[in-house]
């Protein structure tokens, strides 16, 4: 608490609150609008933020249930949103688990062992992490196209390719986990090794149980990044039933046929769980993200 206070502190406090409230409402407006639109009737309806003609049509379609209009016509769901969400989650879970395994083992070596080429490897990883995958899409496409001729589940239009391609982005996570490992005292593991544990056992039974929190954080971080991945998925996936949400969602707002209402429901349905998960874990995620400068 500051000791010296200006006289007009009350007025300033009021002003700050007002400014913040104005700004917050400006920021939150689009999000509230989408929730409101998802409950409006029709695809082009305008109106107040609280919908006057309330309808569950868009929600029903987003959940994949055909909707019967009052005039008797039946509307079929335009896109398989739930399937896209499931694809996204499937890809994200598998790739996050794999990334976690790769990142943890190498972070252990980087934090605890001395070996040749450690420093250049770490620095190199940091540099290569800044090259966006969009730029080498042609090469990645060629790679998976050729691989697909010999290994079916790694070809174009497979989730396998998308999962495997995400394994290149481990550098950020290695740095995060390495930092955590270094904050844990190594004497516990040394004691275990004096008692006859192998290096692997010291890692597996001593260090890993101590680092569950950071592993959770890295898992969530990798999961969020994978869910939001767009460029690679847009090139590697072709069929409608294979798309992930990030690629599929844009079809609602195609240039000639904009389904604004249907999109709103699908967006809320799929965006809400991710948003809530993010807010719940924000403390840890933000620590990880701001360290690397991934989003922004």
Partner 1 sequence: MYTTNASRGLPRHRSRHLTERYTRWTLRCVIATLVIALLWLVVAFHLNGQWMFALLFLVLGASLGVVFTKRTLMSHRYIFPAVAGLGVFVIFPLLYTIGISFSNYSSSNLLSEERVRGQLMSQTYQQEGNAFELTLYQAGELVRLYLENSEADTPQRFVSSPLNLANQETRQIGIQAVDASPAQEPLEMRAIIQARDSLQGLRLLTPDGAELRMAGLRQFAPMVDRYEAREDGSLYDRRDDRVLTPDPASGFFVADNGERITPGWPVNVGFTNYTKIFTDPDIRGPFMQIFVWTFVFAALTVVFTLAVGFVLASLLQWDQLKGKAVYRTLLILPYAVPAFISILIFKGMFNQHFGEVNMILDTLFGVRPEWFTDPWLARSMLLIVNTWLGYPYMLLLCMGLIQAIPQDLYEASAVDGGGPITNLFKITLPLIIKPLTPLLIAAFAFNFNNFVLIALLTGGNPDILGASTPAGTTDLLVSYTYRIAFQDAGQNFGLAAAIATLIFLLVAGMSLLNLRLSKVKV
Q: Which is nearer to partner 1, 50 or 113 (CB)?
A: 113
Of the listed pieces 55-63, 76-84, 207-215, 265-273, which binds partner 1 according to CB under 8 A? 265-273
Please name which of 272, 237, 258, 255 lies closest in space to residue 84, comparing C-alpha atoms.
237
Of the listed pieces 50-58, 63-71, 73-81, 263-271, which binds partner 1 according to CB under 8 A? 263-271
Rounded to an integer, what distance in angstroms lies between the CA atom of residue 46 and that of residue 133? 39
Of the listed pieces 7-15, 60-68, 70-78, 212-220, which binds partner 1 according to CB under 8 A? 7-15
Q: Interhelix angle for 212-228 vs 171-183, to 10°?
A: 170
**In this structure, are residues 252 and 178 in contact, taking their beta carbons and an 8 Å threshold?**
no
Does 290 contact partner 1 by CB under 8 A? Answer: yes
Angle in degrees, CA 81, 87, 91, rounded to 5: 150
Of the listed pieces 60-68, 70-78, 103-111, 215-223, which binds partner 1 according to CB under 8 A? 103-111
Does 265 contact partner 1 by CB under 8 A? Answer: no
Beta bridge partners of 253: 258
Of the listed pieces 52-60, 64-72, 99-107, 209-217, which binds partner 1 according to CB under 8 A? 99-107
Show the site string, 226-245: x = touches partner 1 by CB under 8 A, - = not: -xx-xx--xx---------x
Helix (H, G, I), strand (E, B) or coil at 258: strand
Shortest distance in whole angstroms from residue 83 CB to partner 1: 17
- By DSSP bridging, strand 74-75 and strand 67-68 are antiparallel
Shortest distance in whole angstroms from residue 71 CB to partner 1: 22
Binder of partner 1 out of 115, 185, 212, 239 (CB under 8 A)? 115
Find the DSSP H helices in 184-211.
Answer: 187-194, 199-201, 208-210
Show the site string, 143-162: x = touches partner 1 by CB under 8 A, - = not: x--xx-xxx-----------
Number of Cβ within 10 Å of residue 70's Cβ equals 7
Binder of partner 1 out of 162, 164, 218, 236 (CB under 8 A)? 164
Q: Which residue reads 């499937």 in tokens?
A: 90
Q: Which is nearer to partner 1, 86 or 278 (CB)?
A: 278
Shortest distance in whole angstroms from residue 240 CB to partner 1: 17
Shortest distance in whole angstroms from residue 138 CB to partner 1: 5
Rounded to an integer, what distance in angstroms lies between the CA atom of residue 61 and that of residue 81? 9
Rounded to an integer, what distance in angstroms lies between the CA atom of residue 52 and that of residue 172? 48
């Amino acid at each position: 608490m500051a000791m010296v206070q200006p006289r007009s502190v009350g007025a300033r406090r009021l002003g700050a609150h007002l400014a913040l409230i104005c700004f917050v409402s400006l920021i939150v407006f689009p999000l509230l609008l989408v929730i409101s639109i998802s409950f409006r009737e029709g695809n082009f309806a305008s109106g107040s933020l609280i919908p006057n003609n309330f309808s569950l049509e868009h929600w029903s379609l987003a959940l994949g249930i055909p909707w019967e209009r009052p005039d008797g016509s039946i509307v079929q769901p335009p896109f398989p949103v739930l399937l896209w969400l499931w694809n996204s989650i499937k890809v994200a879970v598998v790739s996050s688990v794999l990334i976690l395994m790769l990142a943890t083992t190498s972070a252990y070596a980087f934090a605890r062992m001395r070996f040749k080429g450690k420093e250049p490897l770490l620095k190199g990883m940091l540099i290569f992490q800044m090259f966006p995958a969009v730029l080498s899409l042609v090469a990645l496409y060629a790679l998976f196209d050729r691989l697909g001729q010999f290994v079916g589940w790694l070809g174009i239009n497979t989730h396998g390719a998308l999962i495997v391609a995400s394994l290149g982005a481990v550098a950020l996570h290695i740095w995060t986990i390495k930092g955590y490992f270094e904050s844990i005292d190594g004497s516990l593991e040394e004691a275990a090794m004096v008692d006859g544990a192998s290096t692997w056992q010291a890692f597996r039974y001593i260090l890993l149980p101590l680092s569950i929190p950071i592993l959770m954080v890295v898992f969530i971080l990798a999961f969020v990044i994978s869910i939001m991945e767009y460029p690679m998925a847009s090139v590697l996936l072709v069929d409608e039933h294979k798309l992930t949400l990030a690629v599929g969602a844009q079809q609602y707002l195609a240039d000639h046929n904009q389904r604004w209402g249907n999109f709103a429901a699908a967006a809320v349905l799929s965006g809400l769980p991710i948003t809530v998960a993010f807010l719940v874990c924000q403390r840890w995620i933000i620590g990880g993200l701001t360290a690397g400068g991934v989003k922004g």
